[in-house]
């Protein structure tokens, strides 16, 4: 086994914990001195009194709305989020703004290098090495994810091919032309490349892709396996975001994700109270503090990512705390007829058992006082009425077992449902 940073990645748990608390006190003092957000928010907090993980609970969480509010201050556009002088900022990034006004994110040269280093951990863990030629099938624009992958792959010594300003066919031709052997994409776009290649009469396996790192969306295990099968490659996941950076990645064992310690202090908190740290095997919300990023310090950022806490330690020899599973976003979790529902469970059932389903969409509607869940599906062509009836019945049964809810399965004509190429959004709650 090899590590990107053998010293940090195999350090004992106690020492890791001590280092993280020391770094935490440092970044907390720094944030209070430099960022207007934290000067106001943490006025009453004394960094020297944070001695144990338990003491962290005395510090309020940072919510996305805090960021939106404080960026309205001068200087434009980062306002009270800045931890460094405006003249030191070297790159502008922003969030996608899917849940409201975008957050503008400043990077200095130093903070960008710190981010890239965190991503080096993620890519090295996923087996990226200097002989790899990495194809990035996106125009990265102002969003951060693929820029991080680009710079980190370079730092690792890989050769990077930026694949923007091409359509999917053009990208497939480029992969063949350059003999790229690694892909970094969203799971949705990975599936789309495979579909498009098949339509061009090219077996995706013939593209010669050895490894794939996925970003941008929660990926279910059946989807990850499907990508491996389609491309004949190994597919790795990670979790991160524009504000907290990429903070956990998947190793060769492909069992859960390793938190990048001690670059991040991550707490997985009970979903209801957001105070208690959950136990191994329990689901909670990830609260992340990047410990070395100073352009925009973040203290206890509520990522709203729901994860299941895993073990600490792994067959790969890394000692960091693991996450067993990324469940999704707290925003996607819904109560339907009193039952807690995550759209990822439908994705898991469909990708594991129903290859004949080409596309799907989940709706939640209120009929009188009752919630109804129509599940619209599109099937592959040329299926008999008998086969279709069989799929409908089996799908309802499996979903009932998995979610404890009754879905109304509707078969739609081919081409009715939206197709996604970058990020998918197959869940619509129409009750609101």
Both structure tokens of 78 = 């980062």
Minimum distance, C-beta of residue 314 to Zn ion, in the bound complex (Å): 3
Minimum distance, C-beta of residue 92 to Zn ion, in the bound complex (Å): 35
Minimum distance, C-beta of residue 228 to Zn ion, in the bound complex (Å): 18
Minimum distance, C-beta of residue 254 to Zn ion, in the bound complex (Å): 9
| 8 Å CB contact between 242 and 95 | yes
Half-sphere exposure in the Cβ direction for 8 (13 Å, CA): 14
Give dist(CA 133, CA 229) in Å, integer.
21
- The smaller minimum CB distance to Zn ion, of residues 316 and 383, is found at 316
Give dist(CA 204, CA 227) in Å, integer.
10
List phi, psi (to 5°) of 103: -100, 130
- The smaller minimum CB distance to Zn ion, of residues 226 and 318, is found at 318
SS3 labels along 348-415: HHHHHHCCCEEEEEEEEEEECCEEECEEEEEECCCCCHHHHHHHHHHHHHHHHHHHCCCCEEEEECCC
| Chain positions contacting Zn ion, by CB under 5 A | 251, 253, 314, 316, 318
- The smaller minimum CB distance to Zn ion, of residues 105 and 323, is found at 323
Both structure tokens of 317 = 């020899």
- The smaller minimum CB distance to Zn ion, of residues 115 and 258, is found at 258
Reading phi first (left if > 0) and then psi (alpha if -120 to 50, else beta), residue 256 is in: left
- The smaller minimum CB distance to Zn ion, of residues 176 and 316, is found at 316
Minimum distance, C-beta of residue 259 to Zn ion, in the bound complex (Å): 11
- The smaller minimum CB distance to Zn ion, of residues 32 and 258, is found at 258
- The smaller minimum CB distance to Zn ion, of residues 180 and 314, is found at 314
Both structure tokens of 117 = 């280093």
DSSP 8-state code for residue 431: T
Give dist(CA 317, CA 298) in Å, integer.
30
Beta bridge partners of 246: 240
Nearest-Å Rg of the Cα atoms of the chain is: 22
Minimum distance, C-beta of residue 224 to Zn ion, in the bound complex (Å): 16
Minimum distance, C-beta of residue 317 to Zn ion, in the bound complex (Å): 7
- The smaller minimum CB distance to Zn ion, of residues 189 and 236, is found at 236
3-class secondary structure, 22? helix
Both structure tokens of 215 = 């970003």
Minimum distance, C-beta of residue 125 to Zn ion, in the bound complex (Å): 7
């Amino acid at each position: 086994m090899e590590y990107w940073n053998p010293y940090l990645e195999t350090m004992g748990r106690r020492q890791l914990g001590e280092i993280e608390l020391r770094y935490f006190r440092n970044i907390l003092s720094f944030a209070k001195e430099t960022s207007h957000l934290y000067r106001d928010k943490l006025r009453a907090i004394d960094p020297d009194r944070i001695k144990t993980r338990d003491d962290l609970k005395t510090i309020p969480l940072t919510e996305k709305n805090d960021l939106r509010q404080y960026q309205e201050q001068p200087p434009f556009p980062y306002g009270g989020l800045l931890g460094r002088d405006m003249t030191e900022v070297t790159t502008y990034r922003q969030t996608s703004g899917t849940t409201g006004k975008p957050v503008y994110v400043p990077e200095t040269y130093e903070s960008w290098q710190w981010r890239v280093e965190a991503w080096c951990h993620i890519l090295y863990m996923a087996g990226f090495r200097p002989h790899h030629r990495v194809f990035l099938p996106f125009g990265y624009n102002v969003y951060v994810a693929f820029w991080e992958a680009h710079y980190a792959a370079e730092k690792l010594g890989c050769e990077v091919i930026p694949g923007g300003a091409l359509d999917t066919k053009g990208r497939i031709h480029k992969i063949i032309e350059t003999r790229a052997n690694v892909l970094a994409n969203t799971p949705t776009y990975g599936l789309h490349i495979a579909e498009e290649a098949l339509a061009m009469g090219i077996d995706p396996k013939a593209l010669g892709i050895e490894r794939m790192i996925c970003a941008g969306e929660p990926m279910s295990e059946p989807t990850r396996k499907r990508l491996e099968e389609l491309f004949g490659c190994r597919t790795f996941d990670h979790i991160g975001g524009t504000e907290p950076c990429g903070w956990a990645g998947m190793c060769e064992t492909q069992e859960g994700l390793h938190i990048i310690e001690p670059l991040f202090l991550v707490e997985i908190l009970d979903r209801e109270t957001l105070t208690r740290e959950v136990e191994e095997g329990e689901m909670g919300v990830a609260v992340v503090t990047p410990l070395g990023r100073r352009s925009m310090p973040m203290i206890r950022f509520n990522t709203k990512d729901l994860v299941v806490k895993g073990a600490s330690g792994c067959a790969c020899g890394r000692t960091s705390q693991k996450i067993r599973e990324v469940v999704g976003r707290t925003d996607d979790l819904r109560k339907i007829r009193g039952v807690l529902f995550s759209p990822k469970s439908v994705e898991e059932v469909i990708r594991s058992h129903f290859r004949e389903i080409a596309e799907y969409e989940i709706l939640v509607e209120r009929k009188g006082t009752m919630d109804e869940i129509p599940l619209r599906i599109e099937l592959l062509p040329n299926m008999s009425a008998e086969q279709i009836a069989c799929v409908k019945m089996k799908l309802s049964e499996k979903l009932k077992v998995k979610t404890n809810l009754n879905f109304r399965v509707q078969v739609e004509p081919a081409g009715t449902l939206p197709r996604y190429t970058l990020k998918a959004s197959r869940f619509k709650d129409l009750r609101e």
